Chains A and B, each alone.
Chain A
Amino acid sequence: MTATSQPAIEVAGVSRWYGNVVAVNDVTFSVQPGVTGLLGPNGAGKSTLLHMMAGFLRPSSGEVRILGESTWGRPDLYRRVGIVLEREAVYGGLTGYESVRVNARLHGLDNPHEAAMRAIELVDLGAAKDRRTGTYSKGMKQRIKIAAALVHDPAVLLLDEPFNGADPRQRLHLMDLLRQMAREGRAVMFSSHILEEMERLGDGVLVIVAGRLAASGDFRAIRRLMTDRPHEFLVESSDNRVLAQALLGDTAVSGASIEGDRLTVRTDDFTRFTEQLPRIAQAARVTVIGLSPLDESLESVFEYLVSR
């Protein structure tokens, strides 16, 4: 759909602040056609960034361009851009079909009926198209929003947390749909705070933390970076002292401490540690009762990425 020489989306030195609060801080990246995930914890600035890409917010500094054109104050650009925001906003008094057709008419399409029907089929809502959207479940509302965004066959699709509220089957269906759109040459950018969604869908990923771009590139490389960071585990065993001694002899373990009946183990090699722990415990004749990560929150993963 887009020429490969020109990035579909370019974000150049973009910042956005509200009074003294910096929501997005000097972010620069460019995106080619394909699926790109915008990953980050809640409040990281993903939505602000997407709103600026959508031309709904003016950057305080820097510029956002889509298909070579600045996004702020350029309504003509919406002929080639489809937008799905996170908020559950639908025209509750209209049926699913009517609300997608209204969007088709607002785009000035020649055959709004046909375009609406095609978009509704794409999101698999044909059976519910004549129901008022006010009666839809959260997942159905999400899908009708996506249908409205696809009705004019856009070259660039921006989606803010598109899988919110969708059940697992719908989620897979939507993921397939977005992958198919990317295969057709579109640039699909979606935001999420869920790592698994990125893993399943994002070819490329941009990690946003505290308004800054913390990492970008191939998802697998970033995932590896996340996995290989130092981890801390709380281990419960039949003999913490013996197990700690045995673990310290392995290269995967960088430290161990015992406080009361708590054994905390630090490792720099997550994969090796998880493989070696049962073997080491068995060799030391210690029974491992429990193993739980101490720093597995997404925030701590992101903090690590930022600190690198």
Chain B
Amino acid sequence: MIPVIFVLTLRQLLRQRRTLLLVLLAVLPVLLATLFRLTAEEVTPARFAANGLFAGFIVNLVLPLTALVVGTAALGQEIEDGTVVYLLGKPLPRWTIVIAKVAAAWMVTAAVVVACVVASGLIVLTGEEGYGLTLAFVVAVLAGSLTYSALFVGLSIRFGRALIIGLAYVFVWEALVSRFIPGVRFLSVRAYTLGVADGVTDVPARIFEASLSPRPAVLLITILTVLTTAYAIRRLNAYEVSERV
């Protein structure tokens, strides 16, 4: 049944206007990359790609925003508009619904963000030092988008205002608090994602180095993905359909 729910969710996500807005957001780094190619001279392409484009813009902004919008809509939208009863009123274990929803959210998020990384990487790094950065960040955003998707699907089951809570997590916790409290990197999908990229890339530390080293990053991102998925399943198992739904 997972493929049926997966395809149904993809259709629902792809016809939403906000998904189109995300595509527009993903075009921004590509425009930045083009501008850099046309104008910048002081910064090396590899440093700009790693720190400005990939880590600074895509991992900080495009990835979490896309995952947030898609992840909270994948199941949250069905809870909000009441169509979730078509899934819950079927002879299916509820974990299959969660897995299908997380997979669909992951696929849409990854498609947007990976395309963004590849396109902007090609523009900035073709023929330059650090060409492997693109592949490293493709792997990293694939991992990051899975974790974010599981987290936001879980949030959308628990909270009616998951989008706002997710925004607070991304922009207050990950972006702001982590600046002042270094330990936050251990509780930040953004830091894990950068750690994964650091582990895959072969560029020297002067070009790119994540605040969290690769080994704990991979371990933590795996643990968080499993935990948030398990949490989402647990929440959906206990979920009651309100009469107002």
Residues of A within 8 A of B (CB): 47-48, 51, 54-58, 73, 75-79, 81, 83, 85-91, 93-94, 102-103, 105-108, 148
B11 CB, nearest partner CB in chain A, Å: 6
Which residues of chain B from 29 to 71 have a CB within 8 Å of any chain A CB? none
Given A56-B85, A85-B82, A93-B15, decide whether A76 and B91 contact each other with a Cβ distance below 8 A: yes
Residue among A51, A78, A91, A105 making CB contact with B12, cutoff 8 Å: A91
Residue among A57, A102, A107 making CB contact with B91, cutoff 8 Å: A107
The residues of B that contact A93 with a CB separation of less than 8 Å are 11-12, 15
A49 CB, nearest partner CB in chain B, Å: 10
The residues of A that contact B240 with a CB separation of less than 8 Å are 51, 56-58
Q: Judging by beta carbons under 8 Å apart, are B91 and A79 in contact? A: yes
In angstroms, Cα B11 to Cα A94, docked, is 9
The residues of A that contact B4 with a CB separation of less than 8 Å are 102, 105-106
As a 0/1 sequence over residues 219 to 245 of chain B, the CB contacts with chain A under 8 angstroms (1 = contact) are 000000000000000000100110101
In angstroms, Cα B91 to Cα A85, docked, is 17
Q: Does B168 belong to the interface (CB within 8 Å)?
A: no
In angstroms, Cα B15 to Cα A75, docked, is 29
In angstroms, Cα B89 to Cα A79, docked, is 9
In angstroms, Cα B237 to Cα A55, docked, is 12
Q: Judging by beta carbons under 8 Å apart, are B86 and A87 in contact? A: no
Given A93-B12, A148-B86, decide whether A48 and B243 contact each other with a Cβ distance below 8 A: yes
In angstroms, Cα B119 to Cα A125, docked, is 47
Q: Judging by beta carbons under 8 Å apart, are B93 and A75 in contact? A: yes
Q: Judging by beta carbons under 8 Å apart, are A91 and B8 in contact? A: yes
A162 CB, nearest partner CB in chain B, Å: 14
Which residues of chain B from 134 to 169 have a CB within 8 Å of any chain A CB? none
Minimal Cβ-Cβ distance residue in A for B240: A57
Residues of B within 8 A of A (CB): 1, 4-5, 8, 11-12, 15, 81-83, 85-94, 237, 240-241, 243, 245
Minimal Cβ-Cβ distance residue in B for A101: B4
Minimal Cβ-Cβ distance residue in B for A107: B90
The residues of A that contact B243 with a CB separation of less than 8 Å are 47-48, 51, 86
The residues of B that contact A54 with a CB separation of less than 8 Å are 89, 241
Q: Judging by beta carbons under 8 Å apart, are B89 and A83 in contact? A: yes
The residues of B that contact A51 with a CB separation of less than 8 Å are 240-241, 243
B244 CB, nearest partner CB in chain A, Å: 8
Q: Judging by beta carbons under 8 Å apart, are A89 and B87 in contact? A: no
Q: Judging by beta carbons under 8 Å apart, are B8 and A102 in contact? A: yes
Q: Judging by beta carbons under 8 Å apart, are B86 and A106 in contact? A: yes
Most A CB contacts (10 A, CB to CB) among B5, B82, B89, B91 go to: B89
Q: Judging by beta carbons under 8 Å apart, are B85 and A78 in contact? A: no
Given A57-B241, A106-B5, decide whether A75 and B92 contact each other with a Cβ distance below 8 A: yes
Most A CB contacts (10 A, CB to CB) among B1, B85, B94 go to: B85
In angstroms, Cα B243 to Cα A48, docked, is 7
B9 CB, nearest partner CB in chain A, Å: 11
The residues of A that contact B245 with a CB separation of less than 8 Å are 87
B78 CB, nearest partner CB in chain A, Å: 9
Minimal Cβ-Cβ distance residue in A for B1: A106
Given A56-B240, A75-B91, A93-B11, decide whether A103 and B82 contact each other with a Cβ distance below 8 A: no
The residues of A that contact B90 with a CB separation of less than 8 Å are 75, 78, 103, 106-107
Q: Judging by beta carbons under 8 Å apart, are A56 and B5 in contact? A: no
In angstroms, Cα B236 to Cα A73, docked, is 11
Minimal Cβ-Cβ distance residue in B for A54: B89
Given A89-B85, A91-B86, decide whether A108 and B8 contact each other with a Cβ distance below 8 A: no
Known: A48-B243, A77-B91, A105-B4. 14 other contacts (CB 8 A): A55-B89, A75-B92, A76-B91, A78-B89, A78-B90, A85-B85, A87-B82, A93-B15, A102-B8, A103-B86, A106-B92, A107-B91, A108-B91, A148-B86
Minimal Cβ-Cβ distance residue in B for A90: B83
The residues of B that contact A86 with a CB separation of less than 8 Å are 243
Question: Which 8 interchain pairs have the tightest Cβ spacing?
Answer: A89-B82, A56-B241, A87-B82, A106-B90, A47-B243, A78-B91, A79-B91, A93-B15
The residues of A that contact B11 with a CB separation of less than 8 Å are 93-94
A15 CB, nearest partner CB in chain B, Å: 15
Minimal Cβ-Cβ distance residue in B for A79: B91
A10 CB, nearest partner CB in chain B, Å: 20
In angstroms, Cα B243 to Cα A58, docked, is 13
In angstroms, Cα B91 to Cα A108, docked, is 8
5 A-B residue pairings within 8 Å (CB atoms): A51-B241, A57-B240, A77-B91, A89-B82, A102-B4
The residues of B that contact A47 with a CB separation of less than 8 Å are 243
Q: Judging by beta carbons under 8 Å apart, are B91 and A83 in contact? A: no
Minimal Cβ-Cβ distance residue in B for A78: B91
Q: Judging by beta carbons under 8 Å apart, are B1 and A83 in contact? A: no
A190 CB, nearest partner CB in chain B, Å: 16
Minimal Cβ-Cβ distance residue in A for B16: A93
Q: Judging by beta carbons under 8 Å apart, are A56 and B1 in contact? A: no
In angstroms, Cα B82 to Cα A105, docked, is 19
In angstroms, Cα B100 to Cα A102, docked, is 15
Minimal Cβ-Cβ distance residue in B for A93: B15
Q: Judging by beta carbons under 8 Å apart, are B5 and A91 in contact? A: no
Q: Judging by beta carbons under 8 Å apart, are A73 and B92 in contact? A: no
